[in-house]
Each structure stands twice: as structure tokens, then as C-alpha cells.
């Protein structure tokens, strides 16, 4: 179950990052704050990395 949630989280992060390249905006909104678009993308990329790291640790622990 945890692996499925991790995969869903990674997909959401990737979709958010990719969609930010196609939107015509110089800022991104996170938790009610307006952020520079590159900072916004970097935060989502870091979130993706944290989820991926947890997913890889979980798959190694199961084997």
C-alpha cells in the first residue's frame, strides 16, 4: 500500500513540474504564497526526490 501511495505522489509531482512549463506564468502558488516559478519547480523536484528515496528504501527492505 505504501508503494502505491509513493508512486501516486511521484506522478503528481512530475505532472505539476511538467505542467508548470506549459502555463504562461512567472510565479507559482504554494500554500497561499506566490513563489518564483523556478523556486516552485525546485520545491516540487525536491518533493519528488524525497518520495523516490522513500520508495527505493521501501523496495529494498521488502526484498
DSSP assignment of the chain equals -HHHHHHHHHHHHHHHHHHHHHS--SEEEETTEEEEHHHHHHHHHHHHHHHHHHHHHHHHHH-
Mean pLDDT, the chain, as a whole number? 90
pLDDT score of 27: 85
44 backbone dihedrals φ, ψ, rounded to 5°: -65, -35
At residue 10, does pLDDT exceed 90? yes
pLDDT score of 63: 64
Paired residues of 29 in beta bridges? 34
Grid coordinates belonging to 22: 506549459
Amino acid at each position: 500500500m505504501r508503494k502505491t501511495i509513493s508512486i501516486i505522489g511521484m506522478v503528481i509531482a512530475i505532472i505539476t513540474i511538467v505542467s508548470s512549463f506549459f502555463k504562461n506564468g512567472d510565479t507559482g502558488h504554494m500554500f497561499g504564497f506566490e513563489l518564483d516559478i523556478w523556486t516552485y519547480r525546485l520545491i516540487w523536484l525536491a518533493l519528488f526526490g524525497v518520495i523516490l528515496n522513500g520508495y527505493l528504501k521501501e523496495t529494498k527492505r521488502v526484498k
